[in-house]
Chains A and B, each alone.
Chain A
Amino acid sequence: MRMAQAGTLESADCLVTVAPAEGFGLDYRGGNRKLFGERTRRLVSETLERLEVTGVQVTIQDQGALELVIRARLETALARAMKEA
């Protein structure tokens, strides 16, 4: 795995960065972090579990994205991270 990003900082989007790490870490930033902290944590772990990914640090800068958008951006970032250079 290498570091990779997906998404944008446009309104209603989010920028997701994934990087190899020890264990699992989530840094969820943006105006909605207090409102959707639990939801995002759950979304990220479910996605990682589904894609059988471990050892990753996920950073999300949320510009008011829908749940499905965060999930899609995370999936793209992970796929990019797993691709051979």
Chain B
Amino acid sequence: MNLVRNALGRLVPAEVRGAGAFDPYEGAFARILAGRPSPAAFPIRKPEPPSRSKVARDLQTAIERSGLENGMTISFHHHLRNGDEVIPLVLETLLQMGFRDLTFAPSSIPDSHDCVANYVRKGLIRRIWTSGARGEVGRMISRGEMEETVIIRSHGGRARAIEEGSIAIDVAFLAAPACDVLGNSAGCAGKSACGSLGYAITDARFARHVIAVTDNLVEYPLHPHISISQNLVNQVVVVDSLGDPAKIATGAARITRNPLDLKVAENAYRLIAASGILAPGCSFQVGAGGASLAVAAFVRDYMKEKGIQGSFGLGGISGYMAQMLEEGLFRGLFDVQSFDSAVTGSMVKNRAHMEIDPSWYANPMNQGCLVHNLDVVILAALDVDTDFHVNVMTGNDGVLRGASGGHSDTAAGAKLAIVVAPSFRGGVPTIKDRVQAVVTPGETVDAIVTERGICINPNRADLWEAARKANLPVKEIGDLKKEVERFTGVPEPIEMDMSRVVAVVEYRDGTLVDSIYRVKE
């Protein structure tokens, strides 16, 4: 494999078999500001003859009609989260039908789908292009079991890749919690309701063939809300159940009671307050739980106390953000993925709670994605290094156990990007000399906040000043690292098999930001 060094000094392949040539990462906004027009691809699609029903006899029939052949690319969305039963159903059916060597390109792989590893081993799947890999899938990739290199993309990056044709989806299987006979689909109704169908929208627009899979065929026409319109859908397949509702739409995520997470959140909040960015018209995005969500609680109290109304909330939306919309703390809420059942309800009730697709959300190469308007984002991390690079993909043992998601997108776009993490986890320091896998480059990270101190990127002198004036517990990141190592010990770097690149991390602009290597036994 021909490896080149990128602007971060990381070795990345010059090309990936089955995906073509890649340029090395040059800088967070290098591509965007270069001013070159983006390539664009529109799929060649056969027209569907006029009909009053697209309902196929069954899934197998639909697949036969789709023109899917060995070696082609299939996609799914992951809005049904750990309750999803569509991906396993489709993959099993494809296996039974004798398909082989497919490229599996979902928006991400739910944690619960260890079965995907088996479909790789049985030869159904040859390539995986995803945002995340955990559990058995992560372990399988890290062990080097796949011949083809995995490509990890952010949400914005995947949308860009689809729009420019780098991901050419042959058949998109899109679970639709509410669907009518002609394929009009939505996610906010039905027994398997999941809220926003954001990720599915981009797939529906650009796939060569779209099959909507539903357990809730409604009377024509679906109304009042349609996420994917019938003109994009080729066929409809009706199944008994899309999945387990309890796991699709979990109960509203509560603010954590863990004192460690709360302390981290409090420190992050104090930095936000000191930065002065919480003014009328501000916008922000938080995570789904833990310290990242807890920051929202602090910010909400502050906004209510000062009577501040923000312009918009963005995400990855949990019930807490929906509640803030309800309370009038934002003018609007943009939702690319709904985390719990309270959010679905909000989408239905409140017209200011708007569904968006991932290109609108975070594709850096269009005419203005939402993350570029964000004021504050609070992000989690597996570990970080003294250059402020963030790893959200591999664990301390070097095994894949995370997802790129919107991390690098939001960090690049937000005026204030804060990464929150405990200073050590399981006896291992979070701050390393060098992270194993860079997902989010340090230049886009403004601060790393722990319970033991706040580390501000040297490229933000203004933030340093503000934090110091507010008497915040600011520490040099190198000092904090040493402080923690004094009682945890200094972890030995894991020896990876540098001769095998098992996965590449693509930055949102299509360049490669890092490689992920095989773990040695």
Q: Which residues of A approach B to under 8 Å, CB–CB?
A: 11-12, 31-32, 34-39, 43, 62-68
The distance in angstroms between the C-alpha atoms of A63 and B425, with both chains bound, is 11
Q: Which of A11, A36, A66 contacts B487 (CB 8 A)?
A: A66
Which 5 A-B residue pairs are closest in the complex by CB-CB distance? A64-B426, A64-B427, A35-B491, A67-B489, A39-B489
CB distance from A42 to the nearest CB of B (A): 9
Closest-CB distance, B155 to chain A (whole angstroms): 30
Tell me whether chain A's interface is mostly helix, strand or loop, or mixed. Answer: loop
- Is B494 an interface position by the 8 A CB rule? yes
Query: Which residue of A39, A63, A64, A66 contacts B490 across the interface (Cβ within 8 Å)?
Result: A39
Interface centre among A12, A38, A67 (most CB of B within 10 A): A67
Contacts of A12 in B (CB 8 A): 426-427
- Chain B 341-371 against A: per-residue CB contact (8 Å), 1 yes, 0 no? 0000000000000000000000000000000
Are A39 and B492 closer than 8 Å at their CB atoms? Answer: yes
22 contacts between A and B (CB under 8 A): A11-B426, A12-B426, A12-B427, A31-B396, A32-B396, A32-B428, A34-B397, A34-B492, A35-B397, A35-B494, A36-B491, A36-B492, A37-B492, A39-B490, A39-B492, A43-B489, A63-B426, A64-B427, A66-B427, A66-B489, A67-B488, A68-B487
CB under 8 Å from chain A, chain B span 460-506: 487-492, 494
Known contacts A32-B396, A34-B397, A35-B396; A64 and B492 CB within 8 A of each other: no
Q: A34-B492, A36-B492 are in contact. Are A64 and B425 (CB under 8 A)?
A: yes
Q: Is the CB of A34 within 8 A of B428?
A: no
Near A by CB (< 8 A), chain B positions 371-415 give 396-397
- A66 CA to B483 CA, complexed, in Å: 13
Which chain A residues border B427 with CB–CB below 8 Å?
12, 32, 36, 62, 64-66
Most buried by B among A12, A32, A63: A32
- The answer for the CA separation of A64 and B475 in the assembled complex, in Å, is 25
Residues from chain B with a CB closer than 8 A to the CB of A32 are 396, 426-428, 491
B489 touches A36 (CB 8 A): yes
Contacts of A65 in B (CB 8 A): 427
A31 to B396, CA, bound (A): 9
CB neighbours of A67 from chain B (8 A): 487-489
User: Which chain A residue lies CB-closest to B484?
Assistant: A66
Please measure, in the bound complex, the distance between the C-alpha atom of A79 and the C-alpha atom of B489, giving whole angstroms: 24
CA gap between A63 and B427 in the complex, in Å: 8
Besides A37-B492, A38-B492, A63-B426, 12 more A-B contacts (Cβ < 8 Å) are A31-B397, A31-B426, A32-B396, A32-B426, A32-B427, A32-B491, A36-B491, A36-B492, A39-B492, A43-B489, A64-B425, A64-B427
